[in-house]
Amino acid sequence: MSAAYYLQKANRSAILFEKSPRLGGVIETNRIEGCLVEGGPDSFLSAKPAALQLIKDLGLESEVIGSNDHLRVTYMVRHSKLVPMPDGLAMMIPTKIWPMVTTPLVGWGTKIRMALEYFRKPEVVGERSVAEMIRSHYGQETVDYLAEPLLAGVFGGDPEQLSANAVLQQFVELEMKYGSLTKGTLARRAAAPATTGTLFRTMKDGLGTLPTAIKNAIAGKVEIRHGTVERIEKSAHGDYLVNGQPVSHVIVCTPAWQAADILRSIAPKAAEGLGAIGYNSSITIGLIYDRATFPHPLNGFGFLVPAKERRRMAACTWVGTKFMHRVPDDKVLLRCFVGGTGGGLSDTQLVEEVRVELQGWMGINVAPVAQNVVRWNRAMAQYTVGHQARVAAIVDELKVLPGIHLAGNAYEGIGIPDCIRMGKTAAERCYAAPS
Ligand SMILES: Cc1cc2nc3c(=O)[nH]c(=O)nc-3n(C[C@H](O)[C@H](O)[C@H](O)COP(=O)(O)OP(=O)(O)OC[C@H]3O[C@@H](n4cnc5c(N)ncnc54)[C@H](O)[C@@H]3O)c2cc1C
């Protein structure tokens, strides 16, 4: 949709092919019992500018809201209890001494190791998994109780498989320069200008505002055709055929496994690489309760569940505390995340399991008044070891097909701002090319 928006902004004609009857991909905002329930993403990082730029281009700046950072506390489940994450963490990198000394989240062995890490010398190491990298700096407990749950929240992935170079690029650079990740993070922070505003932003009426606004902006300029693209072929005139429609450029924004099928007949080697990019599934479960009988103070943004402790849930957001304009005063909204496809359980069975876990960790002994289960199958690309080389090889293979461009969460960043940036860049490549 970003690609379509920037194409029409540059006065290029375009057709948007969309498999689903709904636009927006994994962005899906629902209204239930007066609550705004995000079925997919709930916010985006403000540090990456492409999302805020698109919002500005759409004239929606006044609708951007930040998270309620004065209330930010995130808990981690440890020994079946919610333990607040210590202050001063830059992702999983500790930068403050006292909160680490006093936290019950990790033991003394890990705390001592964290202190000694400060004295590591710079080194250049080959590509490793996230787990290998963090283990070598801070030990296994930091992998289990910080890196794994934090990254599962973003990638839904396994740190033993995820590539440090692809998902922790900044930390890999700090390691080369400073040796110690703690020292490097502190040095970077001291050198960087103070950032203003909140880390996470969203739209007052939900992220669904964005696809709706784009749909309105492109109306009459970009033709939207609902239906699955089966394959892209080369025409006798040197351009491409998308479901038989002749076009000079194609921006393929589907998940990589779909792109592999679509491109196989004209780019078999690139298709092989695209098919090798793994995907994870996830499920979001929105549970709405009456505030009057809800037994928990919701004093934070929610909690993460390390795989070591995990039964079914991977995380839970206390939506009304994290964001304004989501939950009326008489309701409570919990957004629970389950990794994978749910092991064959029905929606009702999943909700039952999640409720048992919520009772154990938060003491919730009342029933929700409404629920919303959304399943995302094979939606999250996995940047496993070798990812950057795989993507470079795919891009190389596609050089012989100059009108074919790729965008989406499989390549250079999983979050919304990166996907918007890639859509915009692909659009620019189309109109920069001679037509
Ligand atoms: C549950 C969940 C929570 C997330 N939370 C966040 C968050 O809070 N913040 C954040 O920044 N990111 C988050 N992400 C990640 C981010 O939302 C996604 O990576 C990003 O939105 C994906 O955008 P995309 O355009 O690459 O893919 P998609 O949104 O998957 O869009 C792909 C589109 O292609 C269509 N399509 C597929 N095949 C075909 C075909 N053959 N023909 C025609 N159309 C086709 C699909 O129907 C879909 O509309 C989350 C993701 C999930 C699943």
220-259 pLDDT, tens digit per residue, is 999 999 999 999 999 988 899 999 999 999 999 999 999 9
**How many domains in the chain?**
2
Average pLDDT, the chain: 95
> Do 264 and 401 belong to one domain?
yes
For the stretch 327-354, pLDDT in tens is 999 999 999 999 999 999 999 999 999 9
> Do 185 and 257 belong to one domain?
no
What separation in Å is there between the alpha carbon of 279 and the centre of ligand 1?
12
Position 154 scores a pLDDT of 87
Q: Is residue 316 part of a domain?
A: no
> Do 163 and 230 belong to one domain?
no
Q: Is residue 392 part of a domain?
A: yes
Last residue in a domain, options 191, 219, 242: 191
For the stretch 367-390, pLDDT in tens is 999 999 999 999 999 999 999 999
> Do 92 and 136 belong to one domain?
yes
Give the domain range for residue 136: 87-191
> Do 148 and 101 belong to one domain?
yes
- Any atom of ligand 1 within 6 Å of the Cβ of 156: no
Mapping DSSP onto H, E and C, the string for the chain reads CHHHHHHHHCCCCEEEEECCCCCCCCCCEEEECCEEEECCCCCEECCCCHHHHHHHHCCCHHHEEECCHHHCCEEEEECCEEEECCCCEECCEECCHHHHHHCCCCCHHHHHHHHHHCCCCCCCCCCCEHHHHHHHHHCHHHHHHHHHHHHHHHHCCCCCCEEHHHHCHHHHHHHHHHCCHHHHHHHHHHHCCCCCCCCEEEECCCCCHHHHHHHHHHCCCEEEEECCCCCEEECCCCCEEECCEEECCEEECCCHHHHHHHHCCCCHHHHHHHHCCCEEEEEEEEEEEEHHHCCCCCCCCEEECCCCCCCCEEEEEEHHHHCCCCCCCCEEEEEEEEECCCCCCCHHHHHHHHHHHHHHHHCCCCCCCEEEEEEEEEEEECCECCHHHHHHHHHHHHHHCCCEEECCCCCCCCCHHHHHHHHHHHHHHHHHCCC
- In the predicted structure, residue 193 carries a pLDDT above the cut 70: no
> Do 251 and 157 belong to one domain?
no
Q: Is residue 144 part of a domain?
A: yes
> Do 130 and 10 belong to one domain?
no
> Do 162 and 248 belong to one domain?
no
The CA distance from 115 to 117, in Å, is 5
Q: Which of 18, 26, 55 is the best mutation target for the ligand 1 pocket, counting ligand atoms within 8 Å of the beta carbon and taking the most?
A: 26
- Any atom of ligand 1 within 6 Å of the Cβ of 284: yes
pTM over 0.75: yes
Q: Is residue 185 part of a domain?
A: yes
For ligand 1, atom 22, name the residue with the nearest CA: 409
> Do 117 and 161 belong to one domain?
yes
> Do 232 and 95 belong to one domain?
no
Q: Is residue 250 part of a domain?
A: yes
Locate 134 and state its tokens: 């963090």
Q: For residues 67-90, give the mean pLDDT.
A: 94
For the stretch 142-190, pLDDT in tens is 999 999 999 988 888 899 999 999 999 999 999 999 999 999 999 999 9
Q: Is residue 104 part of a domain?
A: yes
Position 195 scores a pLDDT of 66
Position 435 scores a pLDDT of 52
Position 236 scores a pLDDT of 86
> Do 170 and 216 belong to one domain?
no
Last residue in a domain, options 135, 156, 191: 191
- Any atom of ligand 1 within 6 Å of the Cβ of 202: no
CATH code of the domain in which 170 resides? 1.10.3110.10
Q: Is residue 100 part of a domain?
A: yes
Last residue in a domain, options 191, 216, 231: 191
- Any atom of ligand 1 within 6 Å of the Cβ of 218: no
> Do 183 and 233 belong to one domain?
no
Q: Which of 5, 232, 254 is the best mutation target for the ligand 1 pocket, counting ligand atoms within 8 Å of the beta carbon and taking the most?
A: 254
- Any atom of ligand 1 within 6 Å of the Cβ of 406: no
- In the predicted structure, residue 3 carries a pLDDT above the cut 70: yes
- Any atom of ligand 1 within 6 Å of the Cβ of 419: yes
CATH code of the domain in which 250 resides? 3.50.50.60
What separation in Å is there between the alpha carbon of 108 and the centre of ligand 1?
41
Position 192 scores a pLDDT of 80
For the stretch 400-415, pLDDT in tens is 999 999 999 999 999 9
For the stretch 285-330, pLDDT in tens is 999 999 999 999 999 999 999 999 978 999 999 999 999 999 999 9
For the stretch 124-139, pLDDT in tens is 889 999 999 999 999 9
Q: Is residue 183 part of a domain?
A: yes
For ligand 1, atom 1, name the residue with the nearest CA: 40
- Any atom of ligand 1 within 6 Å of the Cβ of 306: no
For ligand 1, atom 24, name the residue with the nearest CA: 408
